[in-house]
Amino acid sequence: MDWPRAFPGQCKPPCTRGGEGSGHERPQEEVVINAKDKKNNDWSSYTNALAYARFIRNFKFLAYSNEVGETLRHSFPYLVGPCYALSFGYIFADTYHHMHPYVDVYGWSHPVSHAELAKRSLWHLTASLVFPTLSIGGLVKSTKWAMVKARATTKMIRWTLPLVGVATIPLIIKPIDDFCEDQIMHRASPLIDRFFMDE
């Protein structure tokens, strides 16, 4: 089944990649509703969504804050909960922003919306949770092992590990985003589209 022509000039939904500087624009900036009964759609809702998009793109690093929380678990355990709240709060906010134009055009019950929600969920599962956990967690554990072997003081280890975790974030955001988009979403998106659109 072909995709409904809600996005002129495209035969499939726009790229799911997120984050500022990723090289791909959000679908909110291209949505044009062709259906005659949608001609007088209130574009103020899209204006609000676009403003929100510019805001949230600057906070992609918040998706990794749960990893910072893990580095703080033994030193500052009371910060673990807020760090996880920031991480999942960003993921839910970004997913809402991404889904806004699809839901506004098709509603939640349409296969297009289902497919986009599945793709965005897969995107965040890999780019915001799994690979950051492996990258930051592995580096922090390696650093701790090296410092213990070097007989560093407990105080030094306590303060160094969180700094390593925080310093790693800006270095891995774009490589992880690019890898997930090029190696995972590029292959998974057509399968997800086929699954939902053939229902």
Inter-residue contact 147 to 121 (CB < 8 Å):
no
Query: pLDDT tens for residues 121-174?
Result: 999 999 888 998 889 888 988 998 999 999 888 888 888 888 888 888 888 888
How many Cβ atoms from other residues are within 10 Å of residue 140's Cβ? 20
Residues in contact with 112: Cβ distance below 8 Å, sequence separation at least 6, in sequence order:
3, 4, 6, 13, 102, 106, 196, 197
Label residue 184 by pLDDT band (50, 70, 90). very high
How many Cβ atoms from other residues are within 10 Å of residue 88's Cβ? 17
pTM beyond 0.75: the answer is: no
Structure tokens at 148: 């213990």
Cα distances (angstroms) measured from residue 56 to each of 53, 63, 123, 128, 189: 5, 11, 16, 14, 23
What is the Cα–Cα distance from 194 to 198, expressed in whole angstroms?
6
Q: What DSSP state is assigned to residue 22?
A: S
Query: pLDDT tens for residues 6-63?
Result: 433 333 444 444 444 444 444 444 443 343 344 344 444 544 554 455 555 667 777 8
